[in-house]
Amino acid sequence: MTRSKSVEAFKRGLNVFPDGTTRITIERDPYPIYAARGEGAALFDVDGRRFLDLHGNFTALINGHAFAPVVEAVTRQLRDGTCFANPTEAEIALAALICGRIPGVERLRFVNSGTEAVMFAVKAARAMTGRPAIAKIEGAYHGGYDWVEVSQTSASTNWGPPHAPANTSYYRGMPERVLDDVVTLRFNDAEGAAALIEQHADRLAAVLLDPMPSRAGLIEPTPAFVTAIQQTAARHGVLVIADEVLNLRQSYHGASARIGLKPDIVALGKIIGGGFPIGAIGGLADIMDVFSKKPGGPLVPQGGTFSANPVSMVAGRAGMEALTPAVFDRLAAAGDTVRSGLRQSISRHGLSFSVTGAASLLRVHAKAVAPLDYRDAVETPAERAAISRYVNHFIEAGLLVPASGMICLSTPMTEEDLQLIIETFDAYAALEAQQA
C-alpha cells in the first residue's frame, strides 16, 4: 500500500503540531492516513486509496460523508451567512426536532462540542442542587472537562477496592483537588454504585452516565444497574445526566429511552450536527431554567461565539430528518448482522475473542468472555497486540477502524459492505488462529 503522500504530509505536520497532528487519537502506526475526501461510506486518502470508513469521524457521521441533503442545506446557508450574534429560525427548527424526539428534553441550549455540552450539564446540576460533586463511571470518556476526565486512565495499579474504585488517576494539567469532587462508580455494579451514591449523596449534584461508554468497553448496562442509579439518585435528590453525545445514535429516541433510563439532563453532540461542530444540553424546562435570566434563579452563564451557528443548525436538521425510525431499525439490524458474523467467525476459528456493542456500534475484544465493566475491558499487553493486528489487517484491507477496534456503521453502507467487514474479519481470524 503506497502512503508516500501521507508520509510527506506527516513530515510537514511534525513541524507545526506536537506529535505531528491535531487528530491525535486516530490510528497512526507508523503514519496517520491523511484524508483527501469522503463520499458516502467511503474515505479517499491523499494517495488515492479508497477505504470503507468504519470510524465515521468518532461516530459523528451517521449518514456518511457529503450526505446530499446536508450538502444542499449547507451550500444554501453559506451564501446567506455563516454566523450571526442574532438568533436564527434555523436554531428553532433543529431544537424543535430534538425536543420532539428525546423524552425529557423540553428545552435545550446549543454549544459547539460534546465536551462543552457535558461541562454545562454538570454546571447546571451543580446550580440546581447547590452541591459540588459528581459521580461518574470508571474509565468512561466524556470529553475534556477536568471533573469528567477523572478515572479515564484508571489502571490496575491504582484500583481501589472492588466496590469503591479509587480516584487516584488523573492527567497532569488537572488540579489534584478536582478528585475531591468526583466519586467513581464501577459500570454494572448495581450494589456498589447505589452504596456510593448514598454515601456521598449530600455532596453529589449528579450522576453522569453514558448508557454504553465506548472507552470503558462499549458494554450494555444491566437493567439492575440502570434501576439502581435511577432510584438511588432520585431518593437523594441527585440528578442523573445522560451523556448521549455518542450513543444518541442507538435509536430514534436515543440511548436512555432504549434502556429505560429517565435522565434529568441530557448532553448531546456528534450526529445532531450533520457532520458539523455541535453540542447541546437538554432537559426538563424547570432544570433548563438555570440558563435563563429570570431574576432570583441559580443562573449559569452560558454562551459561545459559534453556538447555534446556522451552518451547524441546517446541517443537523437535514441529517436528523433523514434518520427516521425505519432508518434506525435498519442500522440496528446491520449492527446485529455484523456482530453475529464476527461471533460466528470467532467460534469457527476457535479464537478467545468476544464482541460487545449495540445498534450501529460494536467493539472486538481479545478476551474469551465479553467484558461486563471497564476493569474487565482493560487489555493486557498480549490482548492489545492482538487488537492492533486486527486493526492493521483491516486498514491494509482498506477498512478504516480506530486503534480501539471499534466499528461504527453508517446509513450509506450496503449489504456488500457489511459482508466485506465480516469476510475481512474472518481472514484476520484465520491468520490469528494459525499464530495461536
Contact set with ligand PLP (CB under 6 A): 58, 113-115, 118, 141-143, 210, 214, 243, 245-246, 269, 279
Question: Which residues touch 88 (CB under 8 Å, ≥6 apart)?
Answer: 308, 310, 313
Give the residue among 397, 375, 408 at the shortest CA–CA distance from 154.
375
Q: Alpha-carbon distance 69 to 164, whole Å?
A: 49
Number of other residues whose CB lies within 10 A of the CB of residue 301: 8
Q: Any residues with CB less than 8 A from the CB of 1 and at least 6 apart, and which?
A: 49, 396
Which residue number, 117 or 314, has a Cβ lying nearer to ligand PLP?
117
> In this structure, how many other beta carbons lie within 10 angstroms of the beta carbon of residue 198?
14
Nearer residue to ligand PLP within complex by CB, 118 or 238: 118
CB of 241 to ligand PLP, least distance (A): 11
Are 200 and 183 in contact, with CB atoms under 8 Å apart? yes
The smaller minimum CB distance to ligand PLP, of residues 58 and 225, is found at: 58
Longest dimension (CA), the chain: 70
Closest to 54 in 3D by CA, of 428, 423, 398: 398
> Least distance in Å: CB of 25 to ligand PLP?
9
Secondary structure class of 136 (helix, strand, coil): strand
Give Cβ neighbours of residue 137 (< 8 Å, ≥ 6 apart): 151, 184, 185, 186, 187, 208, 209, 210, 213, 216, 374
Shortest Cβ 228–ligand PLP spacing (Å)? 21
Cα distance between residue 358 and residue 363, in whole Å: 9
Closest separation between CB of residue 244 and ligand PLP, Å?
A: 8
C-beta closer to ligand PLP: residue 278 or 342: 278
Give the residue at shortest CB distance from ligand PLP.
114
CB-CB neighbours of 336 under 10 Å: 13
Give the nearer residue to ligand PLP in terms of CB position, either 407 or 429: 407
Name the residue with cell 453514558: 210
In whole angstroms, the minimum distance from the beta carbon of 141 to ligand PLP comes to 5
Taking the complex as a whole, the smallest distance from the CB of residue 147 to ligand PLP amounts, in Å, to 13
Smallest gap from Cβ 114 to ligand PLP, in A, equals 2
Which residues does 38 contact at the CB level (< 8 Å), separation at least 6? 44, 53, 61, 64, 65, 66
Contact between residue 421 and residue 52 where contact means Cβ atoms under 8 Å apart: yes
Distance of alpha carbon 59 from alpha carbon 185, whole angstroms: 25
Q: CB-wise, 56 or 412, nearer to ligand PLP?
A: 56
Residue 113 beta carbon to ligand PLP: minimum distance, rounded to whole angstroms: 3
The region, left, alpha or beta by phi > 0 then psi within -120 to 50, assigned to residue 26 is beta
**Which residue type, as a one-letter code, is found at position 50?**
R
Nearer to ligand PLP by C-beta: 210 or 264?
A: 210
For ligand PLP, the closer of residues 143 and 405 by Cβ is 143
Cis peptide before 402 (omega within 30 of 0): no
For the bound state, the minimum distance from the C-beta of residue 411 to ligand PLP, rounded and expressed in Å, comes to 20
Least Å distance, CB 249 to ligand PLP, is: 11
With b for 16 or more beta-carbon neighbours within 10 A and e for fewer, the 200-238 pattern comes to bbebbbbbbbbbbbbbbbbbbbbeebbebbbebbeeeeb
Give the residue with the Cβ less far from ligand PLP, 57 or 344: 57
Beta carbon nearer to ligand PLP, 33 or 208: 208
